[in-house]
Amino acid sequence: MQRKPFILQNPSTLIVLAGLAVFTVAVTALSQAYGTGALPTSMVKVLGKTLCLALAAVAMDLVWGYLGILSLGQMAFFALGGYMIGQWLMYARTEAIVAASMANNAIPPTPLELQEGVANQIFGVVGSADLPLVWSFAHSLPLQMLLVLAVPGLLALVFGWLAFRSRVNGVYLSILTQAMTLALALWLFQNDSGFRGNNGLSGLQNIPGLDTVSQARLSVWFLWASAVALGLGYLLAAWVVSGKFGSVIRAIRDDETRVRFLGYPVEGFKLVVFTLAAMITAIAGALYYPQAGIINPAELAPIASIYLAVWVAIGGRGRLYGAVIGAVVVSLLSSWFTGGRAPDLSLPFYTIKWVDWWLVALGLSFVLVTLFAPRGIAGLFDWLGRAVSPRRQGRDLGPDHGALQEQEAKA
C-alpha cells in the first residue's frame, strides 16, 4: 500500500497552517509598525494573545478531546509559563533601571548591592527586601526559558502520576485538577510565596534590552512569535494524534479497561499526553503575558480553565482545528461583548446590556452545543463534507445478495 506523506493524510493541518500564515501577513500589513496602520497596536496585541489562547486550546483538546480527561486546571500551566518568563522580564528590566540610577554614585555598585537594589525595587510592595529562593535563576533568560517548560512539565508529571496511578477518573479527576489550580492560586496570593502576592508581576510588556523598540513593533514581533508557536504546536499535536499513538489515546478515551487488556500501559500514555499538553500550554502562557503586560494569581482562578473547556467544546472537541476555531471565535467575541462596544439589544420591555448578559449567553450556547451539536463548530465542516461527497462505499446497490456493491459498479 502506497502511503501519502503526513501533510496529505491530514489536509486540515495544511489548511489551518495556511490560514494562520494569511492571518499573520494580513495583520502585519495592517499594523501601525509595518503596514497601513488600520489596526491599532492594542488590537494587534489582542490578536497575538488570541493566538496564544488558541495554542492552549489545542493542548486542551489533546487532553480532553483525544485522551478524554476533562482537565479543569490547564490555565495553571499557562500562568506558570507566564510567571517563569515574567520573572526574567521583571528582574532584567529592574536591574537595568537600578544600575542606571546607581551609575551616578561616587563608588560603582558591587554586584551584591545591585542585587539588593533590585530585590528592594521588586519586593518593596510586599514589604520585603530579600530576593526569594525561587528567583535564583531570574537573572538568566535561558534558564528561565528552561523553567517555562520544566516547572509546568514537572507539576503535570507529579500530579498526573499520583492521580492516574490511583485510577482517579471522570468527574473526580476534573475536580482534582480544579483543586490543583485553586491551591496554586491561593499559594501565589500569599506575599511570602515569593511571587509578589496579589500584585503579581507587572511591566512585562517592556522587554529588557529592547527599550528603543516601540510597542507597535514589539506587538507585531510577539504576534509573529505566537503564530509560529501555534503553527509548530499544531503540527506537533497533529502528528501525535495521527497514527497508532492517536489510535491508542482515543481508545483510552472510549474504553480504558479494554486498552489495558490489550497490554498498553494506560497510565504511561496519559502521563505523556498530560505532560506534553502542560508544556505546550506553558509556552502559550510565556508568549501571552508579555503581550498582556501583567500577571497575577487571579489568572489561575478555576473559571479561566473552565473558559478554556467551553471554547474547546464550542469549537468541537476531538478535532484540533475545532479547538483553534473555538478559542479564536469565542475569546474574540467575549472581548467584544464585554468591552462595552457591542450595541445594546433593545427589546420593548427590557434592554439587554451585553456587558452583563454576555456570560449568560455564553453559558446558554455552551449548554445548547453540548446538547444538540456535540461536535461543535467543527461539526459544520463534517456536515459540509458530507453534503459535497456522500459516503458510498460498501452500500449494496440492490436488495439481492448477489447485487454489485457501489464501488464495484463504479469500476
Q: How far is the CB of 240 from another protein (least distance, A)?
A: 7
Q: Please tell me whether residue 353 binds another protein under the rule CB under 8 A.
A: no
Place of cell 509595518: 34
Are 42 and 121 a contacting pair, CB within 8 Å?
no
How far apart are alpha carbons 113 and 240 in whole angstroms?
49
Q: Show the binding pattern over residues 26-65: x = contacts another protein (CB under 8 A), - = does not.
A: ----------------------------------------
- Comparing CB distances to another protein, the nearer of 229 and 271 is 271
Q: Please tell me whether residue 247 binds another protein under the rule CB under 8 A.
A: yes
Q: Show the binding pattern over residues 179-218: x = contacts another protein (CB under 8 A), - = does not.
A: ----------------------------------------
Distance of CA 262 to the CA centre of its chain: 33
Q: Interacting stretch for another protein, rule CB under 8 A, among 33-41, 110-118, 191-199, 241-249?
A: 241-249
How far apart are alpha carbons 244 and 262 in whole angstroms?
13
- Comparing CB distances to another protein, the nearer of 243 and 340 is 243
Distance of CA 145 to the CA centre of its chain: 17
Q: Which of 248, 332, 333, 342 binds another protein (CB under 8 A)?
A: 248
Q: How far is the CB of 324 from another protein (least distance, A)?
A: 22
- Comparing CB distances to another protein, the nearer of 258 and 353 is 258
Q: Interacting stretch for another protein, rule CB under 8 A, among 24-32, 98-106, 186-194, 236-244?
A: 236-244
Q: Please tell me whether residue 235 binds another protein under the rule CB under 8 A.
A: no
* The amino acid at 302: P
Q: How far is the CB of 248 from another protein (least distance, A)?
A: 6
- Comparing CB distances to another protein, the nearer of 261 and 349 is 261
Q: Where are the alpha helices (DSSP H) in 62-169?
A: 74-102, 111-123, 141-165
* The amino acid at 239: W
- Comparing CB distances to another protein, the nearer of 111 and 401 is 401
Q: Please tell me whether residue 245 binds another protein under the rule CB under 8 A.
A: yes
Distance of CA 1 to the CA centre of its chain: 38
CA atoms within 13 A on the CB side of 59: 34
Q: How far is the CB of 170 from another protein (least distance, A)?
A: 18
Q: Which of 96, 250, 303, 306 binds another protein (CB under 8 A)?
A: 250
- Comparing CB distances to another protein, the nearer of 49 and 317 is 317
Angle at Cα 113 formed by Cα 82 and Cα 95, nearest 5°?
Answer: 30
Subset of 375-404 contacting another protein (CB under 8 A): 393-394
Residue 199: name the closest of 134, 128, 137, 304 by CA: 128
Q: Is the backbone of residue 356 left (phi > 0), alpha (psi -120 to 50) or beta? A: alpha
Q: Which of 244, 347, 401, 402 binds another protein (CB under 8 A)?
A: 244
Place of cell 503586560: 293
Q: Interacting stretch for another protein, rule CB under 8 A, among 39-47, 57-65, 240-248, 287-295?
A: 240-248
Are 320 and 58 a contacting pair, CB within 8 Å?
yes
Residue 156 C-alpha cell reads as 503535570
How far apart are alpha carbons 181 and 299 in whole angstroms?
10
Are 358 and 332 a contacting pair, CB within 8 Å?
no
CA 16, 17, 21, 22 torsion-angle sign: negative
Q: Please tell me whether residue 320 binds another protein under the rule CB under 8 A.
A: no
Residues that contact another protein, how many (by CB under 8 A):
27
How far apart are alpha carbons 149 and 80 in whole angstroms?
9
Subset of 263-302 contacting another protein (CB under 8 A): 263-266, 268-269, 271-272
Residue 88 C-alpha cell reads as 526574567
Q: How far is the CB of 243 from another protein (least distance, A)?
A: 6
- Comparing CB distances to another protein, the nearer of 221 and 239 is 239
How far apart are alpha carbons 148 and 284 in whole angstroms?
10
- Comparing CB distances to another protein, the nearer of 161 and 357 is 161
Q: Please tell me whether residue 243 binds another protein under the rule CB under 8 A.
A: yes
How far apart are alpha carbons 57 and 62 in whole angstroms?
9
| Residue numbers at the binding site for another protein (CB under 8 A) | 1, 3, 240, 243-245, 247-248, 250-251, 254-255, 257-258, 260-266, 268-269, 271-272, 393-394
